[in-house]
Amino acid sequence: MKILEAREADIPLLIELNNELQELHINWDHERYKKANKKEIAEWLGKLLKNKSVKILIAFIDSEVVGYVVAKVIKREENVFIYPSQFIEIDQIVVTEKWRNKGVGRGLIEEIKRHAKKIGINTLSLAVFARNSNAIDAYRRMGFESEGIKMTLKLK
């Protein structure tokens, strides 16, 4: 597996992978998630690629694109309750269904960990659907721990 930093020329590949993720999200919560619009996603990705606090990596096996990760440096200012902090938030991670459970996600996370250490950040964070037990188990095997529980009440 080869993991490379995404470039503008990779946007069409990222869009295709994102479609798989977006369809999964729509199936789980169609009231929140929209059908993917390729033009809007291309613009969003283009902005992210220019943002110095964002790292987008793409995983390849041979010449096949099998996954990507979007990671953002988040800076929290000190206030009366907390000290200032910095962490990397994994905003999106996608592995094509064919390549799941084969180390692709782990490889992407490991590269983000290397990047974090290089820039002096020692915490990664991510959010995952509570019903996505496969992903939760994978993240736990990589050392992630639950820090809290986000709860939602949908009013009818």
Instruction: Judge whether 154 lies within some domain.
Output: no
Instruction: Judge whether 78 lies within some domain.
Output: yes
Instruction: Judge whether 93 lies within some domain.
Output: yes
CATH of the domain at 117: 3.40.630.30
Per-residue pLDDT of the chain (156 residues; tens, 9 = 90+): 999 999 999 999 999 898 888 888 888 888 888 888 899 999 999 999 999 999 999 999 998 999 999 999 999 999 999 999 999 999 999 999 899 999 999 999 999 999 999 999 999 999 998 888 989 999 999 999 999 888 889 898
Rounded-to-integer distance, Cα 119 and Cα 153, Å? 38
φ and ψ of 101, to 5 deg: 65, 25
Instruction: Judge whether 116 lies within some domain.
Output: yes
CB 90 within 8 A of CB 71: yes
Strands 2-5 and 54-61, bridge-based pairing = antiparallel
CB 128 within 8 A of CB 139: yes
Instruction: Judge whether 152 lies within some domain.
Output: no
- By CB atoms closer than 10 A (0-12, 13-18, 19+), residue 128 is middle
Residue range of the domain that includes 80: 2-141
Instruction: Judge whether 147 lies within some domain.
Output: no
Which pTM was predicted? 0.90
